[in-house]
A and B are shown apart, each in its own frame.
Chain A
Amino acid sequence: MSVILETRGLTKNFGGLVAVDDVSFALQKGELLALIGPNGAGKSTCFNMLMGQLPPTSGEVYLDGDRITGLGPRQIWRLGVGRTFQITATYASMTVVENVQMALLSHNGEIFRVLPFAHRMYRDQALALLDMVGMAAQADRHCAVLAYGDLKRMELAIALAHEPKLLLMDEPTAGMAPRERVALMELTARIVAEQGVSVLFTEHDMDVVFGHAHRIMVLNRGALIAEGNAAEIRANPLVQEVYLGGGTVFGGAETTDA
Chain B
Amino acid sequence: MEFFVAQILTGLANASSLFLVACGLSLIFGVTRIVNFAHGSLYMLGAYIGLTLMEALPGHFGFWGSILLAGIAVGLIGVVIEMLVLRPVYRAPELFQLVATFGVILVIQDLALLIWGPEDQLGPRAPGLRGVFRIMGEPIPKYDIVLLIITPFIALALWWMMTRTRLGVLVRAATQDREMVGALGVNQAWLFTGVFALGSALAGLGGALQLPKGGADLLMDFTILTPVFVVVVIGGMGSLPGAYLAAIIISVLNVFGVTYIPQSTLVLMFIVMIVVLMIRPYGLFGREEVAGEHGQVGEPEEPIKPASAKVRAIVAAGLAMLALLPLYGGNFALVLTTDILIFCLFAASLHFLLGLGGMVSFGHAAYYGGGAYVAALLVTWTETPMELAFLLAPLGAGLIAIVVGWVCLRLTGVYFAMLTLAFAQLLWSLVWQWQEVTGGDDGQVNIWPADWLNDNTVYFYFALIFSVGGILTLRHLAHSPFGYALRAARDSKRQAEATGIDTRRVQLLAFTFAGFMGGLAGALFVFSKGSVFPNELEIVRSFDALIVVFLGGVKTLAGGVVGAGFFKGVEDVLTRFEYWRLVMGLLIIFVVVVAPEGIVGSLRRAWRRFGPGHSQADTATEERRT
Using a CB–CB cutoff of 8 Å, the interface residues on chain A facing chain B are 51, 72-74, 77-78, 83, 85, 89-95, 98, 101-103, 105-107, 110-119, 121, 142, 144, 158, 161-162
User: In the complex, are the beta carbons of B495 and A114 less than 8 A apart?
Assistant: no
How far is the CB of A155 from the nearest CB of chain B, in Å? 8
The stretch of B42-50, B200-208, B499-507 in contact with A is B499-507
Q: How far is the CA of A11 from the CA of B11 in the complex (A)?
A: 53
For window 497-540 of B, CB contacts with A under 8 Å fall at 497-502, 506, 509
How far is the CB of A94 from the nearest CB of chain B, in Å? 6
Using a CB–CB cutoff of 8 Å, the interface residues on chain B facing chain A are 296, 299-306, 476-477, 479-485, 487-488, 490-492, 494-502, 506, 509
On chain B, the residues within 8 Å of A103 by CB distance are 499-500
5 A-B pairs with the lowest CB-CB distances in the bound complex, closest first = A92-B300, A89-B495, A93-B301, A91-B491, A118-B484
Q: How far is the CA of A102 from the CA of B499 in the complex (A)?
A: 8
On chain A, the residues within 8 Å of B304 by CB distance are 93
User: In the complex, are the beta carbons of A114 and B501 less than 8 A apart?
Assistant: no
User: In the complex, are the beta carbons of B492 and A89 less than 8 A apart?
Assistant: yes
User: In the complex, are the beta carbons of B484 and A142 less than 8 A apart?
Assistant: no
Q: Which of A74, A101, A118 contacts B501 (CB 8 A)?
A: A74
User: In the complex, are the beta carbons of A119 and B479 less than 8 A apart?
Assistant: yes
Q: Which of B494, B501, B502 contacts A89 (CB 8 A)?
A: B494
Given contacts A92-B492, A93-B302, A105-B485, contact A114 B480 (CB under 8 A): yes
How far is the CB of B400 from the nearest CB of chain A, in Å? 22
User: In the complex, are the beta carbons of A83 and B477 less than 8 A apart?
Assistant: no
On chain A, the residues within 8 Å of B303 by CB distance are 93-95, 98, 142
Q: How far is the CA of A119 from the CA of B483 in the complex (A)?
A: 11
User: In the complex, are the beta carbons of A110 and B498 less than 8 A apart?
Assistant: no
How far is the CB of A114 from the nearest CB of chain B, in Å? 5
User: In the complex, are the beta carbons of A51 and B481 less than 8 A apart?
Assistant: no
Query: A94-B488, A94-B491 are known contacts; what are 8 more A-B pairs with Cβ within 8 Å?
Result: A74-B497, A92-B491, A93-B490, A102-B499, A114-B477, A116-B480, A117-B306, A161-B499
User: In the complex, are the beta carbons of A111 and B501 less than 8 A apart?
Assistant: yes
How far is the CB of A103 from the nearest CB of chain B, in Å? 4
Q: How far is the CA of A242 from the CA of B305 in the complex (A)?
A: 53
User: In the complex, are the beta carbons of B495 and A90 less than 8 A apart?
Assistant: yes
Residue of A nearest to B483 (CB): A118
B477, B498, B499, B500: which has the most chain A beta carbons within 10 Å? B499
On chain B, the residues within 8 Å of A85 by CB distance are 494-495, 498
On chain A, the residues within 8 Å of B509 by CB distance are 112
User: In the complex, are the beta carbons of A93 and B479 less than 8 A apart?
Assistant: no
User: In the complex, are the beta carbons of A77 and B492 less than 8 A apart?
Assistant: no
User: In the complex, are the beta carbons of B498 and A73 less than 8 A apart?
Assistant: yes
Given contacts A89-B492, A110-B481, contact A144 B499 (CB under 8 A): no
Given contacts A51-B498, A98-B303, A98-B484, contact A93 B491 (CB under 8 A): yes
Residue of B nearest to A117 (CB): B479
On chain B, the residues within 8 Å of A93 by CB distance are 296, 300-304, 487, 490-491
Q: How far is the CA of A95 from the CA of B624 in the complex (A)?
A: 12
14 contacts between A and B (CB under 8 A): A77-B499, A91-B487, A91-B488, A98-B303, A102-B485, A105-B481, A111-B485, A111-B502, A112-B482, A114-B476, A115-B480, A118-B481, A118-B483, A119-B484
How far is the CB of B497 from the nearest CB of chain A, in Å? 5
On chain A, the residues within 8 Å of B483 by CB distance are 114, 118
User: In the complex, are the beta carbons of B495 and A106 less than 8 A apart?
Assistant: no
Q: How far is the CA of A78 from the CA of B492 in the complex (A)?
A: 19
How far is the CB of A83 from the nearest CB of chain B, in Å? 5
On chain A, the residues within 8 Å of B487 by CB distance are 91, 93-94
Q: How far is the CA of A10 from the CA of B538 in the complex (A)?
A: 54
How far is the CB of B157 from the nearest CB of chain A, in Å? 38
Q: How far is the CA of A111 from the CA of B492 in the complex (A)?
A: 16
Q: How far is the CA of A239 from the CA of B615 in the complex (A)?
A: 58
How far is the CB of A244 from the nearest CB of chain B, in Å? 34
On chain A, the residues within 8 Å of B496 by CB distance are 91, 102
On chain A, the residues within 8 Å of B296 by CB distance are 93
Given contacts A74-B500, A77-B500, A111-B485, contact A91 B480 (CB under 8 A): no
On chain B, the residues within 8 Å of A91 by CB distance are 487-488, 491-492, 495-496
On chain A, the residues within 8 Å of B480 by CB distance are 113-118
On chain B, the residues within 8 Å of A110 by CB distance are 481
Q: How far is the CA of A132 from the CA of B524 in the complex (A)?
A: 52
Q: How far is the CA of A83 from the CA of B301 in the complex (A)?
A: 25
Q: How far is the CA of A74 from the CA of B493 in the complex (A)?
A: 12
On chain B, the residues within 8 Å of A107 by CB distance are 499-500
Q: How far is the CA of A13 from the CA of B31 in the complex (A)?
A: 35
Q: Which of A77, A83, A102 contacts B484 (CB 8 A)?
A: A102
On chain B, the residues within 8 Å of A89 by CB distance are 492, 494-495, 498
Given contacts A73-B497, A89-B498, A117-B306, contact A112 B300 (CB under 8 A): no
How far is the CB of A188 from the nearest CB of chain B, in Å? 18
On chain B, the residues within 8 Å of A117 by CB distance are 306, 479-480
